[in-house]
Amino acid sequence: MSADPWYGRSRSVRVFNRNRCLQQLAAVASISLVAGCSLFSDDNSDAGPIVVGTTSAPSTLDPAASWDGSWELFRNVYQTLLSYPNGATTPQPDAAESCGFTDTSNQAYRCELREGLKFADGSPLDAQAVKHSIDRIMAIKVPGGPSGLLGSLERVQARGDREVVFHLKTADATFPFVLATPAMSIVDPDKYPADALLEGTGVNGSGPYALQSYKEGDEAVLVRNDQYKGYAERRNNAVTIRYFDDSGTMVKALKDKQIDITYRGLASDDIVELQKRNNDSGLQLVENAGTDISYLVFNPKDPWAARPAVRKAIAQVVDRASIAHKIYKDTVDPLYSMVPKGLTGHTTGFFDSYGDPDADKAREILTEAGITEPVPLTFWYTSDRYGSETATQFQELKRQLEATGLFEITLKSRPWKTYVEGYQKGEYPVFGRGWFPDFPDAENFIAPFVGEENALGTPYPANEITEELLPRSRQESDRAQVAKDFEEAQQILVNDARLLPLWQGKQFMAASEEISGGERALDPSTIMMLWELSRKTSW
User: How many CB atoms lie under 10 A from the CB of residue 40?
Assistant: 18
pLDDT band per the 50, 70, 90 thresholds, residue 37 = very low
Residue 407 or 506, more confident: 407
pLDDT band per the 50, 70, 90 thresholds, residue 90 = confident
CA angle 36/524/263 to nearest 5° reads 55
User: How many CB atoms lie under 10 A from the CB of residue 298?
Assistant: 26
- Report the largest interatomic distance among the alpha carbons of the chain, rounded to a whole angstrom: 72
**Rounded average pLDDT over 490-501:** 96
The answer for residues whose C-beta is within 8 angstroms of residue 269's C-beta and 6 or more apart is 247, 329
The answer for residues whose C-beta is within 8 angstroms of residue 72's C-beta and 6 or more apart is 54, 56, 58, 263, 264, 527, 528
In this prediction, what percent of the chain has a pLDDT beyond 90? 62
C-alpha–C-alpha distance, residues 530 and 224, integer Å: 11
Q: In angstroms, what CA-CA distances link 413 with 299, 378, 385, 391?
A: 16, 10, 11, 8
CA atoms within 13 A on the CB side of 142: 24
Q: What is the pLDDT of residue 99?
A: 96
Q: What is the pLDDT of residue 336?
A: 97
pLDDT band per the 50, 70, 90 thresholds, residue 104 = confident
C-alpha–C-alpha distance, residues 294 and 439, integer Å: 17
Contact 134, 101 (CB under 8 A): no
C-alpha–C-alpha distance, residues 339 and 473, integer Å: 15
DSSP string, 47-95: SPPEEEEES---S-S-GGG-SSTTHHHHHHHS--SEE--TT-SS-EESS
378-390, pLDDT tens digit by residue? 999 998 877 778 9
166-181, pLDDT tens digit by residue? 999 998 988 999 999 9
Q: What is the pLDDT of residue 34?
A: 34
| Partners of residue 240 on adjacent β-strands | 51, 221
Quote the crossing angle between the two packed helices 359-368 and 308-317, to the nearest 10°. 170
Q: Is the pLDDT of residue 19 over 50?
A: no
Quote the crossing angle between the two packed helices 268-276 and 247-255, to the nearest 10°. 30
Contact 89, 524 (CB under 8 A): yes
Q: Is the pLDDT of residue 36 over 60?
A: no
338-364, pLDDT tens digit by residue? 999 988 889 999 999 999 999 999 999
Quote the crossing angle between the two packed helices 390-402 and 308-317, to the nearest 10°. 100
Q: What is the pLDDT of residue 3?
A: 43
Q: Is the pLDDT of residue 413 over 70?
A: yes
Q: In angstroms, what CA-CA distances link 65 with 80, 358, 504?
A: 16, 41, 26
Q: What is the pLDDT of residue 485?
A: 93
**CA 248 distance to own-chain centroid:** 23
DSSP string, 446-499: TGGGSBSS-TTSS-B--HHIIIIIHHHHTT-SSGGGGHHHHHHHHHHHHHH-SE
Residue 198 or 314, more confident: 314
Q: What is the enclosing helix (H) or strand (E) of 298?
A: strand 283-298
pLDDT band per the 50, 70, 90 thresholds, residue 533 = very high
276-318, pLDDT tens digit by residue? 875 557 899 988 778 889 999 999 999 999 999 999 999 999 9
Q: In angstroms, what CA-CA distances link 167 with 109, 171, 437?
A: 7, 10, 24
Q: What is the pLDDT of residue 47?
A: 61
Q: What is the pLDDT of residue 465?
A: 95
252-276, pLDDT tens digit by residue? 999 999 999 998 888 888 888 888 8
C-alpha–C-alpha distance, residues 352 and 348, integer Å: 6
Least confident span in 16-20, 186-190, 521-525, 534-538: 16-20
Mean pLDDT of the chain: 87
Contact 497, 198 (CB under 8 A): no
Residue 200 or 427, more confident: 427
Q: What is the pLDDT of residue 42?
A: 46
Q: What is the pLDDT of residue 539?
A: 34
Q: What is the pLDDT of residue 208?
A: 97
C-alpha–C-alpha distance, residues 463 and 63, integer Å: 29
Contact 430, 378 (CB under 8 A): yes
Q: What is the pLDDT of residue 11?
A: 29
Residue 200 or 9, more confident: 200
| Partners of residue 433 on adjacent β-strands | 295
Q: What is the pLDDT of residue 345?
A: 85
**Rounded average pLDDT over 314-331:** 96
Q: What is the pLDDT of residue 279?
A: 53
| Partners of residue 118 on adjacent β-strands | 124
The answer for residues whose C-beta is within 8 angstroms of residue 433's C-beta and 6 or more apart is 4, 6, 7, 8, 10, 294, 295, 296, 297, 423, 456
Q: How many residues does the chain have?
A: 539
User: How many CB atoms lie under 10 A from the CB of residue 301?
Assistant: 12
Q: What is the pLDDT of residue 474?
A: 87
Model pTM score: 0.73
Q: Is the pLDDT of residue 145 over 90?
A: no
Q: What is the pLDDT of residue 280?
A: 55
